[in-house]
Structure 1
Amino acid sequence: GVPHHLLGQIDPSSHHELSPLEFRSAADSKISDIVSRRKLPLIVGGSNSFIYALAANRFDPESDIFRESKPNRVCPELRYDCCFLWVDLSMPVLNQYLDKRVDDMLDSGMFDELEDYFADSDELRESDSVTRTGLSKAIGVPE
């Protein structure tokens, strides 16, 4: 199999949200290790802010280019020779896939799992969505 790096590195009970700068540092370390073994690192998934922090030659951890309307702050130079790939689906195809995926997750016990997850944390349910981290911040969970 293909090893996965950085998964499970943050304890979700710590309520620490990994910053783009912390991700950049952690990913740099893993990428250096992988390249030193003459292997090809693949960065799969992740938020735009994390991918930008990792790939941009100049990165300002004090600014969020995805929330600011200052395109001149975007760094077009990349730190790595890389290739970006993404999947572009038509909305009807995507919606059909998502509907089936949600149905499958519910059939396999997702509702009970989430009920147990939230039962242990009254504080989480009452907290502001801005302060949520990890699973509790994921799309669809707070609803």
Structure 2
Amino acid sequence: MMRTILSACKQVQTPLLDIPGLNMELFNPRRRKEKVVFVIGATGTGKSKLSIDLATRFPAEIINSDKMQVYKGLHIVTNKVTEEECRGVPHHLLGIADPNTNFTAMDFCHHASLAIQSITARNRHPIIAGGSNSFIEALVNEALVTDVPEFKSRYECCFLWVDVSLPVLHRFVSERVDRMVEAGLVEEVRRIFDPEADYSRGIRRAIGVPEMDQFLRGERIIGDKIAAQYLRKAIAKIKENTCKLACSQLDKIHRLQNIRGWKIHRLDATEAFLKRGDDAEEAWEKHVAGPSTDIVGCFLRHQDCVPNIVVPVPSTAIIGSTVPMTAVAAASH
């Protein structure tokens, strides 16, 4: 059964602002910069879970930076947060864009800047969360938005990186795809299937859509046995491409850290992914949510502090073969 999405998520669609003139106070070098928290990481590591955890501990709102979740529709394929997972936290830039058009990095910079202004104007803190590091890099380092000063001149950034050992993450991703199929992924993609569609535009670029093309083209004209083979092949390809995406996202984070010189706080969530039930929640609090809360608290108080973080396992480390993933499945995005 398809999950109820966004209805009570306090989704906020920030209107476009027509700024009549620049406030020169923004350029005052003595003016204290506003604070923006970023939650980054590979797909499936728990970015949404952490951002919502933080937003329930600080007066904050979340801005989505996932380039597929910004589009309307395909809630299962794009793994949008559910009503329950939102926990009443307002979300911006989630399911706002026309699925048949390309929402670019410049579009993101424009809309995210407006959302940040709206949030900070209400004395709340923006938390930008998502796996599209190109969007975040454009916002922080490169893009300018019409009629507002460069991002770095206005905002101070805190970067939190939720990491999971790759072997563990790949197993979790595989199991998550199976759960998405059980939740109705195939039917969801079937509803938007168009044999003439352009898979290089809009939401059809999302992993889970192009991979289903061969199956959906042939399911009505081939036998059930062959169709089942096509479907298994499509699901395997979705898993493969999702794992490739995770590796690409990690490479990008390393580049931002090593080449761009971003100060990024790495939180290792591997232990939480290896445990079940209350033990998983305890591990998440110990290794991820708790240290992140300390980091953000110091950041908002204009203090430097080093939280008590257990030395993490490198993301490429080999973990044992038995990996129970059900404990963190519901809230890992």
1:140 positional shift: 3.2
For 2:134 and 2:169, the matched residues in 1 are separated by: 24
> Tell me, which stretches of 5 or more residues in structure 2 are unaligned?
1-87, 146-150, 212-333
Normalised by the size of structure 2, how large is the TM-score? 0.33
Partner of 2:167: 92
Residue 201 of structure 2, aligned match among 105, 117, 132: 132
Partner of 1:8: 95
Q: Give the direction of change, closer, same or farther, for the CA distance of 1:36–1:48 in structure 2 (3 Å limit).
A: same
Q: Specify the code of the residue in structure 1 equivalent to 2:137.
A: Y
Query: Helix, strand or coil: the match of 1:122?
Result: coil
Does 2:195 correspond to 1:122? yes
> Tell me, which stretches of 5 or more residues in structure 1 are unaligned?
62-76
CA RMSD of aligned residues (A): 2.1
1:48-63 matched pairs, under 5 angstroms: 48-56=133-141, 58-59=142-143
For 1:142 and 1:42, the matched residues in 2 are separated by: 31
For 2:210 and 2:144, the matched residues in 1 are separated by: 30
For 2:184 and 2:101, the matched residues in 1 are separated by: 28
Does the CA-based 8 Å contact 2:109-2:138 persist in structure 1? yes
Give the greater-gyration-radius structure (CA). 2
Partner of 1:68: none
1:103 positional shift: 1.2
For 2:129 and 2:89, the matched residues in 1 are separated by: 12
Partner of 1:27: 112
1:47-86 matched pairs, under 5 angstroms: 47-56=132-141, 58-59=142-143, 78-79=152-153, 80-86=155-161
Q: Identity rate of aligned residues, in percent?
A: 45
Partner of 1:70: none
Superposed CA deviations along residues 9-41 of structure 1, whole A, max 9, x for unmatched, are 2121xx221121121111111100100111000
Partner of 1:72: none
Count of equivalent residues = 118
Superposed CA deviations along residues 56-107 of structure 1, whole A, max 9, x for unmatched, are 2x4379xxxxxxxxxxxxxxx9342111112221122101211211111111
Q: Give the direction of change, closer, same or farther, for the CA distance of 1:38–1:109 in structure 2 (3 Å limit).
A: same
Q: Specify the code of the residue in structure 2 equivalent to 1:10.
A: A
Residue 125 of structure 2, aligned match among 20, 35, 40: 40
For 2:110 and 2:143, the matched residues in 1 are separated by: 12
For 2:209 and 2:126, the matched residues in 1 are separated by: 31
Q: Specify the code of the residue in structure 1 equivalent to 2:178.
A: D
1:132 positional shift: 2.0
Residue 111 of structure 1, aligned match among 186, 205, 229: 186
Normalised by the size of structure 1, how large is the TM-score? 0.73
Query: Helix, strand or coil: the match of 1:139?
Result: coil
Q: Which has the higher contact order (CA 8 A, sep 6+)?
A: 2
Q: Specify the code of the residue in structure 1 equivalent to 2:159.
A: F
Superposed CA deviations along residues 113-142 of structure 1, whole A, max 9, x for unmatched, are 222221xx1211xx3x4x3212x1012321
Q: Give the direction of change, closer, same or farther, for the CA distance of 1:51–1:83 in structure 2 (3 Å limit).
A: same
Query: Helix, strand or coil: the match of 2:138?
Result: helix
